[in-house]
Amino acid sequence: MTLSVKICVNGDDYQLDIQPNELLVDVLRDRLGLMGTKQGCGTGECGACTVLLDSTPVNSCLYLAARANGQHILTIEGLGQPDNLHPIQQAFIKNAAVQCGFCAPGMQLTAKALLDENPQPTDKEIREGISGNICRCTGYVKIVKAIKEAAGAMYSGRD
């Protein structure tokens, strides 16, 4: 038995026939070729598979694709373009907040959700906000600095 779902991914609409037990991470990677969403632990612990579902971070390795029917999904491919990076991506590069890069897509999408909700987070709020995303390469200092810098770039001049 297959299910028909309509999803909007990075601004593009898709009508897909999926299996009821198919995970969102597999649909994004295998069906749509969006390889930026990483399959890490498969248990929702590492955050490498994080995408934004209607602006809310979700672990796509645990999320049934059928539940995404009618929703908007943002992956790292939709956050910015190579010739027009999002301020979060620019700040991660500028602050060397990426080492191996495996956690970066999920970390950056989580940072976007955090900054959309709280445009001036403290270091503590940033650390709490990204606590579901594990980076095995850094001590998070550069990541926190990059997120603070991105907040300034995204929201400077806003009340």
End-to-end CA distance of the chain: 52
CATH class of the domain defined by 3-79? alpha beta
Q: How confident is the model at residue 158 (pLDDT cuts 50, 70, 90)?
A: low
* CATH 3.10.20.30 location in the chain: 3-79
Place of tokens 């709490």: 128
d(CA 127, CA 28): 28
Mean pLDDT of 108-119: 98
Q: Residue 25, Cβ neighbours under 10 Å: how many? A: 24
Cα dihedral sign for 30, 65, 12, 89? negative
pLDDT of 136 strictly over 70? yes
Rounded to the nearest angstrom, the gap between the alpha carbon of residue 26 and the centroid of all alpha carbons in its chain is 15
d(CA 19, CA 5): 10
CATH code reported for the domain at 87-155: 1.10.150.120
* CATH 1.10.150.120 location in the chain: 87-155
Q: How confident is the model at residue 70 (pLDDT cuts 50, 70, 90)?
A: very high
Mean pLDDT of 9-13: 98
Rounded to the nearest angstrom, the gap between the alpha carbon of residue 147 and the centroid of all alpha carbons in its chain is 14
d(CA 122, CA 120): 7
